[in-house]
Amino acid sequence: MSQQLESYQDEIYLTGMTGTAPDFPTDLTLLEEAARAGMTPQAYDYVAGSAGAEDTARENLEAFRRWRIVPRMLTDVSTPSYASTVLGTEMTVPFMLAPVGVLAIAHKEAELAVARAAAAQRVPMVVSTAASTAMEEVAAANGEGQRWYQLYWPKDRAVAASMLGRAQAAGYSVLVVTLDTRMLAWRPRDLANGYLPFLRGVGVQNYVSDPAFQASLAGLPGGADAAVLRWTQIFGDTSLTWDDLPFLRQHWNGPIVLKGILSASDALRAAAAGLDGIIVSNHGGRQVDGEIAALDALPAVAEAVGGRLTILFDSGIRSGADILKALALGAQAVLLGRPYVYGLALGGEAGVRHVLRALRQDFELTMRLTGLAGLSDLGPDCLQRRPGAGRVASAD
Ligand SMILES: Cc1cc2nc3c(=O)[nH]c(=O)nc-3n(C[C@H](O)[C@H](O)[C@H](O)COP(=O)(O)O)c2cc1C
């Protein structure tokens, strides 16, 4: 057992000697089922559901199974370090929390519980425009923690500029701009439930707390309905193109990352446009059903822009082995999505902390047992395709 790294494993086994078992699942793939019992059916479906027949959501997970880890024996893993710096953010382990909106549907303490857990575990978090708590309150709960801000670029440019100014003032250091959600996809579970949290006033808190947004309500009938109506009018801008990106530089003083890149050609455009990083992601299969698994998009993107852009990854991370695989295929760090939301639903701050500690320990143990003492030891040679799985397309 590790002496150098914090050992959640040791703690669990020692506590087990007194007959006490962990409060939450240690197999992180069981979190979803465990969380389901404590959530309303509508909230559970909103988190667990994806676009269309959920083919891409399944494929995201399946893509990880097609890569197998090939360990190396007799390497010195006595003093491992998996720390790194990503766009100025110090990471003790190479994962952070993905932006997930409307967390109040999972737990009453919502983003505040996540922000506290992230700070305590020194895991950076990306806070969503669609948060159910205003970004300043999340920042206060996050304290000395490291936080990035995710923008859903609204049609109203005054609101966009105002949100970016607020985020910088509240200590968010990196801007993540999500490109794949200019409108919401056809999501059968939510449609069947007739359930969209925003229309019930959940997930609009960064808007209603915004001075530019408030000013834009002038002339509309008063009350909460006006804010929700205005939200529906400005949420997404379907006219945006690559030519609009300079607006972000004018209003953001720091690194900018584009989230939702799935092709080498778009990654090259991002590099040419002077962006700092990209997140290879398909939004957890929640937007275009039938699209490529995010992991299958990663090798070609890494081949095209590796070394020029910071490459991050999400969509399907469920275990330490998954993190190892994404890093071996070219990501510098990954973002954890649904699993921490299930942790939140299960136990608020304590539930999120459990998920972060378990994932960290699983990752560290998997790395060491694979013979890897540092992140620089990772590369495609750590992996092999599962027999019969076929090749993944390259950039050319
Ligand atoms: C309930 C839910 C809400 C989400 N909200 C946002 C959001 O507000 N902004 C964003 O960029 N991505 C959002 N995402 C996508 C995540 O950032 C991430 O891309 C996705 O969860 C990765 O897939 P996985 O959770 O299956 O691994 C959301 C995902 C879920 C499940």
Ligand 1 nearest-atom number relative to CA 281:
19
Distance CA(325)–CA(17), nearest Å, equals 34
Find where tokens 């993944």 sit. 392
Helix (H, G, I), strand (E, B), or coil: what is residue 375?
helix
Distance CA(22)–CA(12), nearest Å, equals 7
The whole-number pLDDT of residue 224 equals 73
- CA quadruple 168, 172, 176, 182: dihedral sign: negative
What's the pLDDT band for 219 if we cut at 50, 70, 90?
confident
Q: At 313, phi and psi to the nearest 5?
A: -145, 140
Q: How far is the CA of 80 from the centre of ligand 1 (A)?
A: 31
Q: How far is the CA of 281 from the centre of ligand 1 (A)?
A: 9
The whole-number pLDDT of residue 180 equals 98
Counting every residue written for the chain, the total comes to 396
Please state, rounded to an integer, the average pLDDT across all residues of the chain. 96
pLDDT, greater one: 3 or 130:
130
Mean pLDDT of 114-125: 98
The whole-number pLDDT of residue 4 equals 53
Torsion of the alpha carbons at 97, 100, 103 and 107, rounded to the nearest 10: -40
User: pTM of the predicted model, to two decimals?
Assistant: 0.98
What's the pLDDT band for 199 if we cut at 50, 70, 90?
very high
Distance CA(273)–CA(275), nearest Å, equals 6
As given in the structure block, the two tokens for residue 336 are 């954890």
With contact defined as beta carbons under 8 Å apart, do 168 and 151 qualify? no
Torsion of the alpha carbons at 237, 151, 254 and 117, rounded to the nearest 10: -170
Distance CA(50)–CA(225), nearest Å, equals 27
pLDDT, greater one: 1 or 385:
385
The whole-number pLDDT of residue 3 equals 43
Has 354 been annotated as catalytic? no
Residues with CB under 6 A from ligand 1: 46-47, 98-101, 128, 130, 150, 178, 259, 281, 283-284, 286, 314-317, 337-338
Q: What is the pLDDT of residues 29-47, one digit of tens each?
A: 999 999 999 999 999 999 9
Angle between helices 338-370 and 41-48 (to 10 degrees): 40
Q: Using CB atoms within 10 Å of the CB of residue 165, give its burial: 0 to 12 exposed, 13 to 18 middle, 19+ buried.
A: middle
The whole-number pLDDT of residue 223 equals 73
For residue 220, is pLDDT > 90?
Answer: no
What's the pLDDT band for 1 if we cut at 50, 70, 90?
very low
Q: What is the pLDDT of residues 329-359, one digit of tens each?
A: 999 999 999 999 999 999 999 999 999 999 9
Residue whose Cα lies nearest atom 4 of ligand 1: it is 100
For residue 218, is pLDDT > 80?
Answer: yes
Q: How far is the CA of 283 from the centre of ligand 1 (A)?
A: 5
β-partners of residue 90 are: 85
With contact defined as beta carbons under 8 Å apart, do 339 and 31 qualify? yes
